[in-house]
Structure formats: C-alpha cells, structure tokens
Amino acid sequence: MTNPRTTSTSRTAQAAATSAAGATSAAPAPQGSAQAPPVRALAALEAARRRTELLTDSVDEHDLTAQHSPLMSPLVWDLAHIGNQEELWLVREAGGRPGLRPDLDHVYDAFRTPRADRPALPLLGPAEARAYLAAVREQTAEVLESVDTGPDQPERLLADAFVFGMLAQHEQQHDETMLATHQLRVGPPVLDAPEPPPAPADVALLPREVHIPGGAFTMGTSTEPWALDNELPAHSVEVPGFWLDTVPVTNGAYAEFIAAGGYDEPAWWAPEGWRHVREAGLVAPLFWDRDGEGWTRRRFGRTEPVPADEPVLHVCWYEADAYARWAGRRLPTEAEWEKAARHDPATGRSRRYPWGDADPGPEHANLGQRHLRPAPAGSYPAGAAPSGARQLVGDVWEWTASDFAPYPGFAAFPYKEYSDVFFGPDYKVLRGGAFGVAPVAARSTFRNWDYPIRRQIFAGFRTARDEETPGGGPGPARGGGRG
Ligand SMILES: [Fe+2]
C-alpha cells in the first residue's frame, strides 16, 4: 500500500497503507475499543466505505474522471486504488487467496506514478471501479470470518485485526484526500453537512494560553492495536515547561497579520519561506479572496465571508512559522504538542486522547466529515486536555516545528514505504487531525507529515512560547494574536 499522504507529488492527506501495530502509551489502561477485533474491524471498514461512496456518488462521471488539480489524482483513481490496496493486503496477504485483479497493481501503485500523471493511466471507469470495490469487499468479509484476529495470534499483521484496521485507516485517509479534491474542484456545491455547534458560552473567558509544566512524558505508543509504525514505540521524552495557545490561531487573528503587512516583511519569514512566498505570490491563505476591506473564501463550491472566530485553514508551514514569529512566538515542537494533548499531570500517564481514553464522540471533537468546516475556536469543552487547551484533536491539522523523524527503536512495518522513506528534513509534522479526519485515525499519537509549501491540506496551527519568553498574560483566547 502506499501512503496517500505522501507518495507522489503531493503529500497531502494521508491515505495510504500503513503500518504497524502497537499501542499507546506506556501506562496501564486498556487500549482500543471494547469491541472484539473482528467486529471493530468490520465496523471500521464499513464506515470508511460509506464515506467513500458519499464522496464519489455525489459527483457525475465527468467529475470522477477529471483531474481537478495537478496536485490530486482523479477521484476514480483513488476509488480503485482503495480496492486494489484492500485486495493486496486483506484478500491476498491476510487471506492467502489468489486475488481478483493482480493485473491492476501497477496502475494503482502510488509510488509508480505521480498524481499529475495518473489521468494518463489505463484506469477503470467509474462503474468498473465500483464493481471491483464491491467484489473485493465480499472476499474481505469472508477472510475476516476465517482468520484468527485475537490478540494472541502470533502473526503480527492479524493480531487484534491490525491489517484490517490499517486498511480502514487507509481508506479514510484517501477519503480525506478526496475531500481535498472536492475543495479544489470548480463548480456548484455537491456536498452538504450540518453546521458545527456554535461556540460555547465560556469562550470569552478562556485564557489566551495554557501552561504545560516541564518534565518527562510518554510519547508514542506500544499498546494501541491499530497504531502505525511511525507512532511506535512508546518512549520517554523530557519537555521543558512552555506556554501553548488555548485554541488554534483564528482567521481573525491571521487577518491581522496580513493587515500588518506580514506577507511583505522578510523579518518574519524563514529564508526559504520568504523565497517561496515571493515566487508563489502568496498574500493570504489558499481559497481566500479580497472583498473590499475584508475577505471571502471558497469552501466546497460556496463563496462566503471568512468567519473571524474559526481556526485558520489552508496555510502552509512557512505561513504558520511567519505568523508565529510576527506574534513574538513560535510553533510548538511535535513533542510539545503531544505532551499538551496526552500528558495527564495528575496520574503521570499519557492518554489516548486529550479528554481521556474513550473513543471520540461528537461532544469531544470535530471529526469524520460530520461538518464541512472547523468549529469556532474554543468549541468542544468536553474534549479539552488536562491543561485546558481545546481542539487539539479535530477541526484543523496543526503544523508543528518538527521534521518527520523516527522515534528511538523505530522498525518499519509492514513495509518500508509507509513511513521510513519519508523521514528527514523535507517534511514537517502535523498533528491532531482536521474535520475531515476519521475517528479511527485520530488518536493523539497519530503523525501526519507534508512538505512545508502544502496548502490544499486541511491545516492550521497554534503557537507556543518558552517559559522565559515574555508574552501571554491574561487576555482572552483569540488564537494566538499578538500579545
Ligand atoms: Fe494509498
């Protein structure tokens, strides 16, 4: 399988097949769902398929086969690639069966053909692709019934139904990629979803930043059954005390950076970021347009005023980094982000999620494409971390200062191309997951990565500062404005 997020020209959403088994946190606490592995696996695969169908049934044949951006594959490529990876890993590898269409492997190998070149491949048409997915799924269900997926199964791929969970995450990651394609598509809207809940009443009272005390915490996991190789193993990391924005940086705060001439002042930008912003002519987040003194944005085919209180979206790492410098702050490191999201100072252990170990519910976070936008900054008090930080999971991916690197003791599983080939300084880590990320891939150890110039992904950020750096103070949470 390939990692959708990475492979090829764009690194974007993550879809890809993935890897490893492991679990979360070094601490006790049972991990994973209370459901038996085959039940959980089937439910996860079915949830992914319903979303795949929603994203591909909502457009006509032309939109399925067209390339809406050279950054993305035609939707019909993602569709059949989902089936091909499922055939490879669940039918052939896990089931030991001959498979249905091994002749398609080269067409849907993401490493073989960059996204920009995929329209030229001999792709299955929409009807053929749908029939193929259904036929593969039928065999997958038979395999799932016939293999032992218990925790004591010696074959690591099968234990706790890992490989089935890996494929459910793979399909959901391609669904996120397809959602990004929908956002890039030009034409009338075809997707619809309810609005997220309004901001809770206490938003105006939130502190602008929260304090994370210094000390060691457990990063990564060795117990979460469906964790991927790059999340393993659990290990102790010393993180000095720091301050972190209570909520992600908002559109309103980001617009202040623009109004203050942020895109014209090289002092705020990393040298390579400054070169990029000049060459690419960037003046605002992707999908924003000037409207008099204000801004509008295009969102899944609709044009609307940019909502000031919503976390900013579609900014690249360089823009996030420049904003933070302008604000007298910096991006948090990946370890700082994870400590803020998981460490419980009361018990000393790392949680699966900011709110605890329970799987995400609608009260905790904006996930799963339930809504087609981030919720207002300060939403989801029930999903707050022990520090009081909100929306660490859901709403927007958050850029961190860190390059994508292996944890000490990393071992590629089940194949090197999931993570190993991407480690290094070319990619920056994103954490937390956006509104289009499925709960099955939103645990707080999950790591995403992309090029620092990427903007079509659903990424925003929050800022941090060292304990000794002045700033902060009481003021209301406004998503990291100048302080
Ligand atoms: Fe993939």
Give the annotated binding-site residues for gamma-L-glutamyl-L-cysteine.
Answer: 115-118, 450, 454
* pLDDT band with cut points at 50, 70 and 90 for residue 32: low
Q: Which residues pair with 460 in a beta bridge?
A: 398
Mode of pairing for the β-strands spanning 397-404 and 459-460: parallel
Give 174 Cα–ligand 1 centroid separation in angstroms.
7
Angle, alpha carbons 64-456-353 (nearest 5°): 105
Give 236 Cα–ligand 1 centroid separation in angstroms.
31
Give 190 Cα–ligand 1 centroid separation in angstroms.
24
Give 283 Cα–ligand 1 centroid separation in angstroms.
32
Q: Which residue in 28, 402, 424 sits closest to 237, CA to CA?
A: 402
**CA 82 to CA 11: how far, in whole Å?**
17
Asked if 71 and 451 count as a contact pair (C-beta separation under 8 A), the reply is: no
Residue 21 has pLDDT above 70, yes or no: no
pLDDT in tens, 185-209: 999 999 999 999 999 999 999 999 9
Torsional class of 150: left (φ above 0), alpha (ψ -120 to 50), beta (otherwise): beta
* pLDDT band with cut points at 50, 70 and 90 for residue 24: very low
Give 193 Cα–ligand 1 centroid separation in angstroms.
26
Q: At what angle do helices 251-259 and 317-326 cross, to 10 degrees?
A: 70
**CA 165 to CA 226: how far, in whole Å?**
6
pLDDT in tens, 299-356: 999 999 999 999 999 999 999 999 999 999 999 999 999 999 999 999 999 999 999 9
Hey, what CATH topology would domain 13-184 get? Four Helix Bundle (Hemerythrin (Met), subunit A) (1.20.120)
**CA 167 to CA 158: how far, in whole Å?**
12
Give 154 Cα–ligand 1 centroid separation in angstroms.
26
Give the annotated binding-site residues for Fe cation.
Answer: 81, 170, 174
Question: Any idea which architecture 199-483 has in CATH?
Answer: Alpha-Beta Complex (3.90)
* pLDDT band with cut points at 50, 70 and 90 for residue 33: low
Strands (E), 215-344: 215-219, 235-239, 242-245, 288-291, 294-299, 302-305
pLDDT at 468: 87
What's the pTM?
0.92
**CA 361 to CA 132: how far, in whole Å?**
33
pLDDT at 470: 81
* pLDDT band with cut points at 50, 70 and 90 for residue 482: very low
Give 170 Cα–ligand 1 centroid separation in angstroms.
6
Q: Is the peptide bond before 414 cis (omega within 30 degrees of 0)?
A: yes
Give 82 Cα–ligand 1 centroid separation in angstroms.
7
**CA 142 to CA 147: how far, in whole Å?**
9
Asked if 452 and 11 count as a contact pair (C-beta separation under 8 A), the reply is: no
Specify the DSSP element, H or E, that contains 383: none
Give 344 Cα–ligand 1 centroid separation in angstroms.
35
Give 442 Cα–ligand 1 centroid separation in angstroms.
18
Give the pLDDT mean for 139-147.
97
Give the annotated binding-site residues.
Answer: 81, 115-118, 170, 174, 450, 454
* pLDDT band with cut points at 50, 70 and 90 for residue 89: very high
Q: If you search the block for the tokens 């696996």, which residue do you land on?
A: 41
Domains in the chain: boundaries: 13-184, 199-483
pLDDT at 472: 55
